Amino acid sequence: MIGPVLLLICLLLIGLSFWQFQHGLRKAQTDRVLERLGDGQPEVQDTDTRWTGLERMFQRAGLGKPTDRLGLWLSAWVIGVLLGWLFADGLGLITMIVGPPLFLRVYISWCYQRRVQRMVEQLPQLLDHSVRSLKSGRTLADAVLGGVESTEDPLKEAMGRVQRNVRMGVSLPDSVSDFAEFYEQDEFRLFALGLKVNHRYGGNASELLENLIKMIREREQGARQLKAMTGETRMTAYVLGGLPILIVGYFILVNPDYLMNMWNDDTGRIMLFSALVMDISGTLLMWRMLRSV
């Protein structure tokens, strides 16, 4: 049983290596030329497809493009599925098919939330530098671009698309609006809206940015207070959501035959699937309740 599975894994890896080698020979030179031509070009609006949506998720999370290591990830997933089926039969097969994509989705979401939170924390620093530049006599575009240079990553890296668009002749409000829609964050949208209003109707740009700094800091303070007030509720939800998983892990370590006997029995299998559905439904319900707080 193990021999055919290992032979299949070896054939898959050999075929994948040949495909990667040929693909690299064909496109290495072309990709380098296109990358040089694309330096400084404005960002193109992606088409609304599932694959571009996946690339958008990766780029917003700061993980690059998923196509960079697509072959490696797919081969690792296939090997994991085969090993799961080899060591745990149907249960391992289902776990390895569903588990890695679900884990990847949660990890991307966690990286995105962490990165955007850090960018929002850095935004007042950028606006403060822009206000000082405006008061020293610089234009609004020069002040904002100078503020981008004074910040640190990840905000500086993320707003590189704004700098590229401005260098290519796109107006600053439109560039910041594209940046805000890409990351889908209210603070960035307010920043873009303020620049649009100032660009169209004029006014005191430094006062506008100062009010925006004050509002962002007040929102951040309110969010921290709400997080502190709801800490007990969130901890309860985490415990209730993770308790079934911990119990299953405990049984697997202490008495794995107990779960395997249930899995091999028709009634036990129905009970396991029912418990899984109820656990997932309860976790999603608590997650929605926490998001509404």
pLDDT for res 208? 84
Rounded Cα distance between 159 and 77, Å, is: 34
- Position with higher pLDDT, 2 vs 280: 280
pLDDT for res 25? 61
Summarised one tens digit per residue, pLDDT across range 106-157 is: 888 889 989 998 998 899 888 899 888 888 888 888 888 888 888 888 888 8
pLDDT for res 268? 83
Rounded Cα distance between 124 and 211, Å, is: 11
Task: Tell me the average pLDDT across 14-37.
Answer: 58
Summarised one tens digit per residue, pLDDT across range 237-269 is: 778 778 888 888 888 788 878 777 877 888 888
pLDDT for res 44? 42
- Position with higher pLDDT, 93 vs 198: 198
Q: Which percentage of the chain shows pLDDT scores above 90?
A: 1
Rounded Cα distance between 148 and 158, Å, is: 10
Summarised one tens digit per residue, pLDDT across range 27-80 is: 555 555 545 544 444 444 444 444 567 778 888 888 777 766 667 777 788 888
Summarised one tens digit per residue, pLDDT across range 189-222 is: 888 888 888 888 877 888 888 888 888 888 888 8
**Statement: residue 171 has pLDDT above 80:** yes
Q: How far, in Å, are 50, 148, 213, 214 from residue 128 at the CA level?
A: 39, 11, 7, 10
CB-hemisphere CA count at 13 Å for 110?
6
Rounded Cα distance between 192 and 257, Å, is: 59
Rounded Cα distance between 81 and 113, Å, is: 29
Long-range contacts of 80-87, Cβ-Cβ distance < 8 Å, separation of 24 or more: 82/5, 82/8, 82/9, 86/1, 86/2, 86/5
Written as six digits, the tokens of 250 are 């405990």
| Cβ neighbours for 143, distance < 8 A, ≥ 6 positions apart | 129, 130, 131, 133, 134, 205
pLDDT for res 10? 58
Chain centre to alpha carbon of residue 252: 32
CA-nearest of 130, 156, 131 to 144 is 130
CB-hemisphere CA count at 13 Å for 138?
15
Rounded Cα distance between 73 and 101, Å, is: 11
Other beta carbons within 10 angstroms of residue 223's beta carbon come to 12
**Statement: residue 20 has pLDDT above 70:** no
pLDDT for res 103? 86
Q: Which amino acid is present at 136?
A: S
pLDDT for res 49? 45
Identify whether the C-beta of residue 172 lies closer than 8 Å to the C-beta of residue 140: yes
CA-nearest of 183, 64, 45 to 122 is 183
pLDDT for res 184? 85
Task: Tell me the average pLDDT across 90-98.
Answer: 77
CB-hemisphere CA count at 13 Å for 232?
1
CA-nearest of 130, 121, 127 to 153 is 121
